[in-house]
Structure 1
Amino acid sequence: MLSLKSGLSAFLTLFLLGQAVTAHAELPDFTTLVEAAAPAVVNISTTQKVPDQVAGNSQSGIPDLEGLPPGFREFFERNMPQQPRSPQGRQQQRGAQSLGSGFIISPDGYVLTNNHVVTGADEIIVRLSDRSELKAKLIGADPRTDVALLKVEGKNLPVVKIGKSEDLKVGAWVLAIGSPFGFDHSATAGIVSAKGRSLPNESYVPFIQTDVAINPGNSGGPLFNLNGEVIGINSQIFTRSGGFMGLSFAIPMDVAMDVANQLRTEGKVSRGWLGVVIQEVNKDLAESFGLDKPAGALVAQVMEGGPAAKGGLQVGDVILNLNDQPIIMSADLPHLVGRMKAGSKAQLEVIREGSRKKLELTIGNLPAEGDEVAANGGGDSAVERNSNRMGVKVAELSADERKALDLKGGVVIKEVQDGPAALIGLRPGDVITHLNNQAIDSAKTFTQVAQALPKNRSVSMRVLREGRASFITFKLSE
């Protein structure tokens, strides 16, 4: 009996040791990767001249995190070193220093980093792994993707290997090298936790999400796969404290290299444009448009004279795929369109009034920021009518209002009473252009469609508020 117990104990010990050895063997060893890749990773510091009274409002060494979207922090620190005032009594200028990372992509000195690391800089200094410092020239930058291309004078510089981010899989090990808080060549590791992630105000970058520890100073640094290839540029974190909280976001290398090549050859970045405003298709919208499941990009607005308008795309169309690539989330569409060249053909499959339809249109060139089409509405209108079932008082738009809003029809809400309209958040001044997938060309049409709405089924309504169109859904219980 004693022998049996001893045998079982020995077997269990060996089994547990085997499991531990197997688990240990499966963990990656990053030492070789770091030794090979680190020499091509650089520290980037910049100097920006600012007026004395502005500089005096900051404390030296404190990261400047003001003015960023809630929860997101750009990875750079601004130090405001104290300098004596000019004896001539002139307004003294001080150097605002920021800190970030980057990496060398060519032996003759081209360096990639984030736009926000170098934006507004009067001087850019690149420090190599051997601690030598070189002045860098800004070749070009693209704020929309937060990518900047620098050039330093050098020969036979160490370079990184460029990988394909599209081959990356969720769960894969990745490693970041950078200068968090100024600590050069710090390495942190983790896994890819998601791909194709869309962030607020970042329509053209399908971010790689990781749990790699990223902090101020890591901005612009490389994200490596286990083959030692750069597959992303560390760009943003999600945080409530200002520090790392387990959610880091990197710009895919496929996107970054496309931008870098355009900056190098053209000095600017061009990307494709459809000329539409889209929104996500949720469960209720999918039901109202007759879809089997929530998917696609719902066209909420079509810009007059844009590629979509010329190609026959209409408000209310749900785009299911582009050039045979499925649109699962609405954010997939701008990612795909943005990488297409102006003048190229696009094959779209859409759902229109419950039926599938194929369209072909020519991709346009995305206008410069601030040049996008905008519309504003308001003002008095024609005869007012009531629709007691919806609980709103509406009026027809005047010819001038329709022209200003680029509309052929629609009604404006003059008063919101108790009822469904109040419950779904409608308010005076909103313009209703579609109800239950039907275009509203007059107050009479609105009343007729409203009175015929089905009960206990999702109904869609297209609303224009301050020039911005979106579809909302609701259900009538009575």
Structure 2
Amino acid sequence: MKLQHVVPVMLLSAVTSVGSMWAYNKYVNKSPYTYTVSDSNRIPSNYAGFFDGGANAPTDFSEAAASSIPATVHIKTKATRTASNNLPKRSPLFDLFGFDWDEGMAPRALPQMASGSGAIISDDGFIVTNNHVVDGADEITVNLSDKKTFKAKLIGADPSSDLAVIKIDAKNLPFLLYGNSDEVKIGQWVLAVGYPLNLDATVTAGIVSAKSRTLDINRRQSKVPIESFIQTDAAVNPGNSGGPLINTSGQLIGINSAIASPTGSYAGYSFTIPVNVVKKIVADLMKFGTVQRAYLGINYAPDNLSDEVKKQEGISDGDGVYVLDVTKDGAAFASGIKKGDFITRINNIPIRTGAEMQGQIATFRPGDKVKIGYRRDGKDFNIDVVLRNSGGTTDIVKTSVLDKLGADLATIDSKMAKEMGVKGGVMVKSIDENGAFSKTRMEDGFVILKVNGKEVSNVEEFRTEMEKAGSSVTLDGMYPGYEGIFRYPMKISE
């Protein structure tokens, strides 16, 4: 072939090759990290750091699991219920038909067993778990992962947050390091550790699905529930309660507390008490014996209000928590916060919902100073607020055993004592639905004469004997107008 014929063919082949490569790169071989937006090739701000290694996370959880399993315990409890709690109160008909409480209707012991999990938080045997795991227990047994067994005692409990602290007599124990739940991010890997369904130590993995969830489940055990759960899809079943939720560094970021399930077993969602709340509650229980609850002193609008209700109540739209009212002796009122303000930040942490605000305030004590950010008439303000207790002061709150009974008590006067033929006694004027008395068949008007067989003539003597009694107590007494002695065995929990 002549040269003049070869050159055009070579040129045509070169042009065709270059064109094919250009077309392939442009239309076929697109990179997954190539973006086309309306004005430029800028990556959206919500993807900042995503492709420079910032989104990478470890997929091998063996080290985190190895560090957490020895510090996770199996808790078994035994409680003795009494059949007398389910019997009707004695009436005049008992006398007519000749029944006698002490002989024909003696209480019968009904043992009940339960189990859960717990996280060791110190080398000398302090363990955090759920209140509902140990509530009302006569006996608490702790099994370590190495099969060693210990008897535990209850140090303190907080039904509002569903947390409790127990203690075993042991030294040099492995324990979990606290993490920071404020730094927990939606989508990050987490591990749930515990003893579900009476199995040995079990680890499950999942991601953080949401933060600051409110389920209102703690209202079953407290009038003032504290809820700001971390939601995960790590499998949690009965028996996991009280066990740790850890991050991939093996740090404790929460205590598993609840599941959302139509069957009672895991169905995709589990809920965890954030560790920043846990740290504060545990410290209070160990130091003061009761939780030092801080309050901002506001009433705020629920997060799920409809547009119609907002319009009726005059609530405008805005970021943050809408202040419906402020209490006159509260911290917010003293700092100048008013109805109509939006709480937007606490110590520079953004606040969008009531659950987020509650979760932050729950980590402080009365007397602590926090920086509150709020919006008023479209303008942002920051102010220092000194939190207060429920009484409107910054004093340390102390509780007595009488606070746990849930009853209004009064010493009977000499006239009533004479009519009843006794030296004195303590009348139960009214019974609260959430106290210890409410778990018996006791009714208003009952006059307590003995505590565990020791006579009491007034409220102070009653208090003294109750403090000696511990968690189990038997009360003997009478109802004015009825003959005979009535007996009420019961449990006193924190």
TM-score above 0.5: yes
Amino acid at match of 2:118: G
Displacement of 1:198 in angstroms is 2.7
* 1:236 alignment counterpart: 258
**Maintained 8 Å contact 2:368/2:387:** yes
Distance 1:165 1:358 in 2: 24
Q: Name the Cα RMSD after superposition.
A: 3.3
Greater gyration radius: 2
How many aligned positions are there? 317
**Residue 36 of structure 1, aligned match among 42, 67, 73:** 67
The alignment status of 1:341 with 2:365, answered yes or no, reads: yes
* 2:46 alignment counterpart: none
Q: Please give the TM-score of this superposition, normalised by the length of structure 2.
A: 0.57
Q: 1:176 to 1:356 in 2, by over 3 A?
A: closer
Q: 1:276 to 1:240 in 2, by over 3 A?
A: same
Q: Could you tell me which runs of 5 or more consecutive residues in structure 1 were left unpaired when the two chains were aligned.
A: 1-24, 57-85, 372-478
Displacement of 1:246 in angstroms is 0.8
Matches for 1:162-201 after TM superposition, within 5 Å: 162-200=178-216
Q: Please give the TM-score of this superposition, normalised by the length of structure 1.
A: 0.59
* 1:311 alignment counterpart: 335
Distance 2:370 2:105 in 1: 63
The alignment status of 1:208 with 2:236, answered yes or no, reads: no
Distance 2:155 2:196 in 1: 25
Amino acid at match of 1:52: A
Displacement of 1:336 in angstroms is 2.4
* 1:251 alignment counterpart: 273
Name the one with the larger helix percent. Answer: 2
Displacement of 1:323 in angstroms is 4.1
* 1:25-77, Cα deviation, whole Å (9 max, x unpaired): 98723334333321221110111111136699xxxxxxxxxxxxxxxxxxxxx
**Maintained 8 Å contact 2:244/2:255:** yes
Displacement of 1:88 in angstroms is 9.8
Q: Which moved more, 1:37-46 or 1:26-35?
A: 26-35
Q: 1:354 to 1:253 in 2, by over 3 A?
A: closer
Q: 1:154 to 1:322 in 2, by over 3 A?
A: closer
Displacement of 1:212 in angstroms is 0.7
* 1:211-238, Cα deviation, whole Å (9 max, x unpaired): 0111111000111211122211111111
**Residue 46 of structure 1, aligned match among 55, 74, 77:** 77
Displacement of 1:171 in angstroms is 1.4
* 2:492 alignment counterpart: none
The alignment status of 1:270 with 2:292, answered yes or no, reads: yes
1:234 is paired with a residue whose SS is strand
Distance 2:311 2:143 in 1: 53
The alignment status of 1:134 with 2:150, answered yes or no, reads: yes
* 2:117 alignment counterpart: 101
**Maintained 8 Å contact 1:102/1:113:** yes
Amino acid at match of 1:112: V
* 1:325 alignment counterpart: 349
Displacement of 1:87 in angstroms is 11
2:226 is paired with a residue whose SS is strand
Displacement of 1:167 in angstroms is 2.4
Displacement of 1:355 in angstroms is 5.6
Q: Could you tell me which runs of 5 or more consecutive residues in structure 2 were left unpaired when the two chains were aligned.
A: 1-55, 88-101, 219-224, 392-396, 404-494
Percent pairwise identity: 39
2:361 is paired with a residue whose SS is helix
2:282 is paired with a residue whose SS is helix
2:64 is paired with a residue whose SS is helix
Amino acid at match of 2:147: R
* 1:441 alignment counterpart: none
The alignment status of 1:147 with 2:178, answered yes or no, reads: no
Amino acid at match of 1:208: I
